[in-house]
Amino acid sequence: MGMKILAGNSNPELAEAIAAYLNMPLTKASIKRFSDQEVFVEIHENVRGEDVFLVQSTNYPANDHMMELLVCIDALRRASARRITAVLPYFGYARQDRKPGPRTPISAKLVANLITTAGADRVLTMDLHAGQIQGFFDIPTDNLYAMPVLVRDLKEKYAGKETMIVSPDVGGVVRARAYAKRMDALIAIVDKRRERAGVSEVMNVVGDVSGMHCVLVDDIVDSGGTLCNAAEALMKQGAKSVSAYIAHGVLSGPAYDRIANSVMDEVVITDSIRPSDACVATDKIRVVSVAPLLAEAMNRIAHETSVSSLFD
């Protein structure tokens, strides 16, 4: 019984980097579209009795990539793979983890059900928007953190500098505290509140950031509005510089223009989502790879050894 890696179309470069780290080839397969955009999958190698890892983020176009994931899982199950691990470096729909109002869905739970029903035996993901989403799955689910990779980069860049870790909102305080502990740094919080309808948000900075190199940390940067506004508030409070370290660079809509024109020195993201051409062309955005982290976790799962030490 061996280990195989199958790549979906969402992030082939990351899958190739994982395979290179593990010194093994990607499984040959065709993932195509019929003329009406139906997904068709054909696996060109024998996977009977194999431990198969399917690498597929569910970023934009989220529904296409989600359907690819489900059809690939079904193809593997019908080809008698011994175990199918869905490797989702970025888990789409994670922001819909509760009912924000009446008559709204909990789509993260629906997606978890779909992945399980399709035939996945376990899930490996990274930096879930809400940790409790692990409980939405009825199969083993490992939630890795990009923090060790990002902290390593942070330590190289900010060695010897007065650094402060900043949460861009109240909800990210636990994450900021974890970064600060590893960096032996203080934390600050940007408290965002809207005084009344139709009036712009007021950014209050909790903590003294004057003369500090501030690092905003978050799990997702989407349109970039909150991040750029938080950076501006920090500079107004006397911060020496502001940068951001984010696990998932969703970067939709006006995000690139906002970041390019912001007061931030740079935004560091991982390759959990395939960097677009616009991302590569933006000087202020830098990408670090989580391929070794994911590869190491996959190797440990395949050999039935502990994955928990990777969380440190």
Q: State the catalytic residues.
A: 192
- Is 223 labelled as part of a ligand binding site? yes
Q: For residue 37, say whether it is annotated as part of any ligand binding site.
A: yes
Please give the Cα distance from 224 to 254 (Å, whole number).
Answer: 8
141 is in an annotated binding site: no
Quick one: CA torsion of 62, 149, 178, 296, rounded to 10 degrees? 80
Closest CA to 220 of 290, 293, 273: 273
135 annotated binding-site participant: no
Q: Residue 36, annotated ligand binder? A: yes
Strand partners of residue 270: 288
In a 10 Å sphere around its CB, with 0-12 CB exposed, 13-18 middle and 19+ buried, how is residue 75 labelled? buried
Q: Locate tokens 């689910």: which residue?
A: 141
Give residues with Cβ within 8 angstroms of 56, minimum separation 6.
Answer: 7, 8, 9, 10, 11, 65, 68, 69, 72, 86, 87, 88
Known binder of ligand: residue 305?
no
- Residue 237, annotated as binding a ligand: no
> On the CB side of 52, how many CA atoms lie within 13 Å of its CA?
32
- In eight-state DSSP terms, residue 276 is P
| Residue 138 among known ligand-binding residues | no
> For the chain, how big is the Rg over CA atoms in Å?
20
Judge whether 213 is annotated as a binding position: no
Q: Please, are residues 89 and 11 in contact by the beta-carbon 8 Å criterion?
A: yes
- 182 assigned ligand-binding residue: no
Answer yes or no: is 224 a known binding residue. Answer: yes
CA atoms within 13 A of residue 208's CA, in its CB half-sphere: 2
The three-class DSSP label of residue 257 is helix
226 is in an annotated binding site: yes
**Residues in the annotated binding site:** 36-38, 95-96, 129, 169, 194, 218, 222-226
**Residues in the annotated binding site for D-ribose 5-phosphate:** 194, 218, 222-226
**Residues in the annotated binding site for ATP:** 36-38, 95-96
